[in-house]
């Protein structure tokens, strides 16, 4: 293989399978990223590609089976207005007293949606793809998305914010769908 071909192969982004609940990895705590190196940048690129393909507006590393504290998001409406955000080790450093309710969904909880109450605005400190310290002040949909994705890093799904009755009903349906898929 020529050098050019090798470089091409390494830089090609990959669409990865997304884990769905119930899955023990989705309930696990992800570990802090030591340094934003080539492996992490590659992970971020693969996660964005996987998210756009799904399609979704946010994805956390545990959803593709990687227990690193990495999330990606893009709430841009079209391909032309893409605004990808890549975060390693995100931390909420401020949250508003005011709450907001959004109907949330998740690529790991396919075809189920539920209202979730979260702080309406948050400030998040994180490392970007260059390893630089950054801060994001998010409101509206982005505030919900970043909190939802960060929850994934601690093994929390949006269904953990709703009643256990509704959560268990959704989990039973997902488990049934998985069994049917495995049998077919």
Residue 106 or 142 having the CB closest to Ni ion: 106
Does 106 bind Ni ion (CB under 5 A)? Our answer is yes
Do 87 and 142 contact (CB within 8 A), yes or no? no
Which of these ranges, 7-15, 26-34, 103-111, 113-121, lies near Ni ion under the rule CB under 5 A?
A: 103-111
149 is known as an active-site residue: yes
CB of 152 to Ni ion, least distance (A): 6
- For 20, phi then psi, to 5°, come to -120, 150
Does 21 bind Ni ion (CB under 5 A)? Our answer is no
Size of the site for Ni ion (CB under 5 A): 1
CB of 35 to Ni ion, least distance (A): 26
Residue 43 or 106 having the CB closest to Ni ion: 106
CB of 80 to Ni ion, least distance (A): 25
Residue 30 or 106 having the CB closest to Ni ion: 106
Residue 128 or 155 having the CB closest to Ni ion: 155
What gap in Å lies between CA 72 and CA 28, rounded to an integer? 18
What gap in Å lies between CA 29 and CA 103, rounded to an integer? 25
C-alpha to C-alpha distances, 124 to 16, 37, 116, 128, 164, nearest whole angstrom: 27, 21, 19, 12, 29
CB of 147 to Ni ion, least distance (A): 11
- For 45, phi then psi, to 5°, come to -65, -45
C-alpha to C-alpha distances, 158 to 69, 118, 123, nearest whole angstrom: 18, 11, 20
Active site residue: 98, 121, 149, 183, which one? Answer: 149
Of all residues in this chain, which one has the CB nearest to Ni ion in the complex? 106
What gap in Å lies between CA 178 and CA 152, rounded to an integer? 21
Where in the sequence numbering do the catalytic residues fall?
149
Interaction site with Ni ion (CB under 5 A): 106
């Amino acid at each position: 293989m020529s050098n050019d071909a090798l470089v091409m192969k390494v830089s090609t982004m990959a669409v990865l399978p997304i884990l769905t609940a119930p899955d023990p990895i989705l309930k696990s705590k992800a570990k802090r990223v030591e340094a934003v190196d080539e492996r992490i940048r590659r992970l971020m690129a693969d996660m964005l590609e996987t998210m756009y393909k799904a399609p979704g507006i946010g994805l956390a590393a545990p959803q593709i089976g990687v227990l690193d504290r990495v999330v990606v998001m893009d709430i841009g409406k079209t391909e032309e207005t893409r605004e990808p955000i890549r975060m390693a080790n995100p931390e909420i450093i401020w949250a508003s007293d005011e709450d907001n309710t959004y109907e949330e969904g998740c690529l790991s909880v396919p075809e189920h949606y539920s209202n979730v109450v979260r702080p309406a605005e948050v400030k998040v400190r994180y490392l970007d793809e260059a390893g630089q310290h950054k801060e994001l002040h998010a409101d509206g949909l982005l505030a919900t998305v970043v909190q939802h994705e960060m929850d994934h890093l601690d093994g929390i799904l949006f269904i953990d914010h709703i009643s256990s009755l509704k959560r268990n009903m959704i989990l039973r349906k997902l488990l049934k769908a998985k069994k049917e898929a495995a049998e077919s």
